[in-house]
Amino acid sequence: MKNPQLNKHGELQHLLTTEGLPVRIMRDILDRAAGFLDLDEGREIKKVPLLHGKSVFNVFFENSTRTRTTFEIAAKRLSADVVNLNIGSSSTSKGETLLDTVDNLCAMHADMFVVRHSQSGAAHLIARHVAPEIHVINAGDGRHAHPTQALLDMFTIRHYKKEFHNLRVAIVGDVLHSRVARSQIHALTTLGVPEVRVIAPKTLLPTMVENLGVQVYHDMAKGLKDVDVVLMLRLQNERMQGAALPSGQEYFKNYGLTEEKLAYARPDAIVMHPGPMNRGIEIDSRVADGLQSVILSQVTFGIAVRMAVMSTLAGSNK
């Protein structure tokens, strides 16, 4: 089966998922992102003309503030023209199909789409549909993938830990419904992390998750033992309705990241979260705002990583 993300030269044509993304491309993106960050002087990321004259359409069929904003900032720093469309869920009720919407935007001469949609596979569908000179970036599709989030997480891990090959990483929370978790798992295994763990109750883990290359834990004390990186996931409030969990309090008691539980990890372990956080549900404020938290760095790095992705795509041959 043809890799839908690569063009015939093996270059990145679309960024749809971290699954099957070649390690050389992944490393290139991280290196390129580092180049955009002027870390030594702590200054803002400089504006560069790499996407000058290009139109980037942020098409969000599902609400998002943070992701859409960081994509917008990233595109502007690359000197692109940015159009934001918050289509929400109302577009389908107006009768227009997803591909009709995309066709209309193509007619407005879009060069690149950044798409978020509530259905798994939506970005693949759009990528199959658009003309070959148009690039698609998946900004989150259903439970499937959120590759830029995973890449910025990898960037953050590399920034603090330097290497991947000697790490133990734990992903904690609602893996079943999480596109972030799936993309993180593929990215971590691709980059050579030898031990990736998931920690959650059975109701929040998908069937055969171990086939993705992870070790399954149901207990925080055991799962967090000696890990270098803790990746927290957001718990959607509606999970209580589906009988997946009894209550937020009980979840916090067992799986909420507190200082006590974090003490099982290595003393220099870092704590990450893709946001937005539910304080007191999946993470305690003392941890979220604590010394081991690198959550705000993730947001800053997110801009550089998204610039790297966009400029990589724009630089590929047709």
Partner 1 sequence: MNIHIKNGRLIDPRNNLDAQLDVFIIDQYIAAIGNAPAGFKAAEVIDATGLIVCPGLIDLAARLREPGFEYMATLESEMDAAVAGGITSLACPPDTDPPLDEPGLVEMLKHRAKNLHQARLYPVAALTTGLMGKELTEMAELVDAGCVAFSQADAPLTDTRVLYRAMQYAATFGYSVWLRPQDSYLSKDGVAHDGEVATRCGLPAIPVCAETIALSTMLMLAKETGVKLHICRVSSAAGVEMIRTARQQGLAVSCDVSMNHVHLSEMDIGFFDPNCRLTPPLRSLRDKAALRAGLLDGTIDAICSNHAPVDEDAKQLPFAEAESGATGLELLLPLLLKWAEQDKVSLAGALSRVTAQPAQILGLDAGHLSVGALADVCVFDPEKYWKVEASALKSQGKNTPFTGHEVQGRVRYTLVDGKIVYAN
Interface residue list for partner 1 (CB under 8 A): 1, 4, 19, 97-99, 117, 119-122, 124-125, 129, 141-145, 179, 182, 206-209, 211-212
- Amino acid at site 316: S
Cα-based torsion angle of the residue sequence 80, 81, 83, 84 in order, rounded to the nearest 10 degrees: 40
* CB of residue 62 to partner 1, shortest distance in Å: 12
Instruction: Specify the residue for token string 């705000």.
Output: 296
Provide the 3-class DSSP secondary structure of residue 45. Answer: coil
Which residue number, 81 or 96, has a Cβ lying nearer to partner 1?
Answer: 96
Beta-carbon contacts of residue 222 (< 8 Å; ≥ 6 apart)? none
* CB of residue 85 to partner 1, shortest distance in Å: 18
Which residue number, 245 or 288, has a Cβ lying nearer to partner 1?
Answer: 245
* CB of residue 143 to partner 1, shortest distance in Å: 3
Which neighbouring-strand residues pair with 83?
57
* CB of residue 101 to partner 1, shortest distance in Å: 12
Which residue number, 242 or 315, has a Cβ lying nearer to partner 1?
Answer: 242
The beta-strand segments (E) located in the chain are 55-60, 81-86, 112-117, 135-141, 168-172, 195-199, 215-217, 229-232, 270-272
Which residue number, 209 or 265, has a Cβ lying nearer to partner 1?
Answer: 209
* CB of residue 291 to partner 1, shortest distance in Å: 34
* CB of residue 153 to partner 1, shortest distance in Å: 17
- Amino acid at site 209: V
Which residue number, 75 or 114, has a Cβ lying nearer to partner 1?
Answer: 114
Q: In what order do the strands lie in the sheet with 195-199?
A: 215-217, 195-199, 168-172, 229-232, 270-272
Beta-carbon contacts of residue 189 (< 8 Å; ≥ 6 apart)? 196, 212, 213
Tell me the two tokens of residue 179: 């596109």
* CB of residue 280 to partner 1, shortest distance in Å: 27
* CB of residue 284 to partner 1, shortest distance in Å: 28
Tell me the two tokens of residue 43: 């200054």
- Tell me whether residue 99 is exposed, middle or buried, using C-beta atoms within 10 angstroms of its C-beta: 0 to 12, 13 to 18, 19 or more: middle
* CB of residue 290 to partner 1, shortest distance in Å: 31
Which residue number, 145 or 309, has a Cβ lying nearer to partner 1?
Answer: 145
Which residue number, 4 or 275, has a Cβ lying nearer to partner 1?
Answer: 4
User: What's the CA gap between 3 and 20, in Å, rounded?
Assistant: 7
Which residue number, 69 or 120, has a Cβ lying nearer to partner 1?
Answer: 120
User: What's the CA gap between 152 and 304, in Å, rounded?
Assistant: 8
User: What's the CA gap between 75 and 58, in Å, rounded?
Assistant: 10
Which residue number, 108 or 208, has a Cβ lying nearer to partner 1?
Answer: 208
Cα-based torsion angle of the residue sequence 255, 257, 260, 261 in order, rounded to the nearest 10 degrees: 50
